Chain A
Amino acid sequence: MVFVLSALGLIGVALLHVWLRLQVVHMGYVLATTSKLQNQLEQENRELKVELATLTSPDRLEAMSRRRLGLRPPEKGQVIVLP
């Protein structure tokens, strides 16, 4: 009886170990995929940052605001100093 129980226990432990190993490998795959996605998103984020910075560079903004919006530096009377 004791022998059967301990044998079953041993088999149980062995199966648990195998299951855990499989889980580790499976998680490793998930982790690899997620980490790849994270890298991709970070890269994309950096690319967008570069694009944003390029689009908002003072040189471009000035040219756009002058041409598209017709803005210009304020004239003498257009600056009002509040008391």
Chain B
Amino acid sequence: MRRSYRGDRLRLGVAKVLFLVLFVVIGARAFQLQVLQGEKLKRLAERQHLKEWIVLPKRGAVLDRAGEPLALSLEAQSVYARPHRIRDPAGVSRALGKILNLDAGEVKQKMTAEKPFVWVKRQIGPQEAEQIQALSVEGVGMFYEPNRYYPQGQLAGQVIGFVGRDSEGLEGLELHYNDYIRGETGSSVIERDALGRRVLVQGVRGLQMAPGGDIHLTLDTSIQHLAEKELEATIGKYRAKAGVAIVVEPFTGEVLALANYPSFNPNHFAKLSAQQRRNRAVTDSFEPGSTFKTILAAAALEEGVVGKEDLFYCEMGKYPYAGKVIHDTHPHAWLPFYKILQVSSNIGITKVAEKLKRERYFKYIEKFGFGQPTGIDVPGEVPGLLRKPESWSAIDLATHAFGQGISATPIQMVMAYAAIANGGFLMRPHVVRRVVGSKGEVLLENQPHVVRRVISEKTARLLASMLKGVTNEGGTGVMARVEGFEVAGKTGTAQKADLTHGGYAAGKRVASFVGFVPADDPKLVAMILVDEPEVNVYGGVVAAPVFRNIAQGALRHLSVAPQKLELVPTTIGPTELPRRRAVKRETAVAFDGGTVAVPDFVGLSLREAVEKARAMQVKVKMHGNGYVIRQSPAPGGRWSEEDILVLNLQG
């Protein structure tokens, strides 16, 4: 086939022009779309494929001193409906009602409401959510909302408080530390495709909001549980109205347990009354009664107006004073000062107060922290009621001496006793040790804080030794004794003010016990308060046993060894051991002028090893559980009695 060159040129030229025109047209259109209408079209497109993504705040956890969680946040789904989009309200209502366990009629009412958006049910379980997902009805959807869980239920409920639906703390620590644990809310613009799926083209940085910090408490879950259990048992037994138990570490002011009765489970906060939510240890003040005599005694000793052995005449139980008559429960004649505290004589303490005078007494009441908040880090603390000495009438000196006519919160009482226990320092109590951020950084740390020195170390020691008398034979607090330990403390049985008629309400009492243990090297201070017990009203009968049970368990939990070994009777005496462990007798220790042949512990169970070590008075250190597999030094060698035998055990 022959083609003319000219013809080819012509066709090429035509093609060229055609393509040129095409390019110009395309270019012009592109210019029109990209430049002339660019902004407008871009906005339209973004509206279609960009979506604002809300990042909900992640609230931090609340943990006890061992890291046991007390409050955690989860996201739960909430079901909503857009009524105008629902085609078959009756059918949908029936289906939803069945899944969510709601009344179908009520659901239908919501479905037909003249609103663009209604909540059907908030915070549903994962199974319910799956079923609704499977239902896939037009106009019904789900939305993630944060929800707060308190896995330990009522444990320390009033201290922790609770969180409202909008993720704001409303009570307790949840309120007090809200800014630290709330976490940040954020929003980020994300792209989505034609099917509405998320396409994270810009990465995830915008979606990662800093979660709230975790609160680490000073509370010890075990001691807290023990305190709540003992308090509840006693309140049931004596048919009381309410009660408080506080356990504090005296040298740091760390609160180990703070129990309230009635209890409060923050998981169901909406169903419970404000009465139950109240943290009475800080929000309620009581007339302390005889436990306050210790404050007067501290002041009198510190000012040097009395000595431990000074004698006072106790008027055989009836003492006319400032136009009234002061009574004692039991009549006494002459009592030394320490006995006045031991038997809790109102007359005796009044005579001490007369020697001290009201201004000096008042100075110490204030120094011990009464009449002002302790500064504990929970909301709602009240300062109690304290009247200036100028306004005291003549009888007021006497009533203040035995703790009537003045009101104090349980936390104030326990901190005042902590000051006696730790050698004279008033500490600021706290329940939060630290707040730790999501990256492990410490956002806040509560260090032990000394408010002031109240009394000298010498006075504190002397007073502690006098308070030991209260729990010894002849004292009012014998039932507070903890086996193996010396307890220093004071009982109180206070009359309750009648708020409607004035004066004191007949028969209504507040029984209490405040004390610390071990008396000479205190590990904990505890205050027990039982409000309006009916069966028996005396602090020494109602509150003291609660102290004993809590202190006993707490000391064991804190592994504090009993100081007085002779006070710990044992059924497994050394003489009994050979009979029980006859097989192992050949391993008996042979003394050899200060050095001993190392006894053989290998193969013994933990229990046997402990018994043997006790019987032989060998100092041992054990690692692990089960049976002894290795010991150091090896059996048979020589070692002196000061050496420690290290045992490795394995199950």
Chain A interface (Cβ < 8 Å from any Cβ of B):
24-25, 28-29, 31-32, 35-36, 43, 46-47, 49-54, 56-59, 62, 73-74, 76-77, 79-83
Contact = CB atoms under 8 A, between A and B. Distances in A.
Contacts of B126: 47
Contacts of B568: 76, 79, 81
B207 interface: yes
Contacts of B619: 82-83
B572 interface: yes
Interface stretch (B176-184, B286-294, B539-547, B606-614): B606-614
B222 A82 contact: no
In the A-B complex, the 4 residue pairs with the smallest Cβ-Cβ separation, listed nearest first, are A53-B151, A77-B571, A58-B225, A28-B199
A26 to B, nearest CB: 9
Contacts of A76: 483, 568-571
A59 to B, nearest CB: 6
Nearest to A79: B568
Interface string B612-627: 0110011110000000
Contacts of A31: 200, 203-204
A46 B222 CA distance: 23
A82 to B, nearest CB: 6
B556 interface: yes
Given A32-B200, A57-B151, A62-B225, A80 B569 contact: no
21 contacts: A28-B201, A31-B203, A31-B204, A32-B198, A46-B72, A47-B74, A49-B72, A50-B74, A54-B152, A56-B68, A57-B155, A58-B152, A59-B153, A59-B155, A79-B562, A79-B568, A81-B568, A82-B613, A82-B619, A83-B618, A83-B619
Contacts of B614: 80-83
A82 B199 contact: no
B162 to A, nearest CB: 16
Given A35-B207, A76-B570, A82 B620 contact: yes
A57 B610 CA distance: 30
Given A43-B75, A49-B69, A77 B201 contact: no
Contacts of A82: 610, 613-614, 619-620
- Among A35, A43, A53, which residue has the most Cβ atoms of chain B within 10 A? A53
Contacts of A25: 199, 201
A35 B152 contact: no
A29 B225 contact: no
Nearest to B224: A58
Nearest to B207: A35
Contacts of B74: 43, 46-47, 50
Contacts of B197: 29, 32
Contacts of A57: 151-153, 155
- Among A49, A51, A52, A80, which residue has the most Cβ atoms of chain B within 10 A? A80
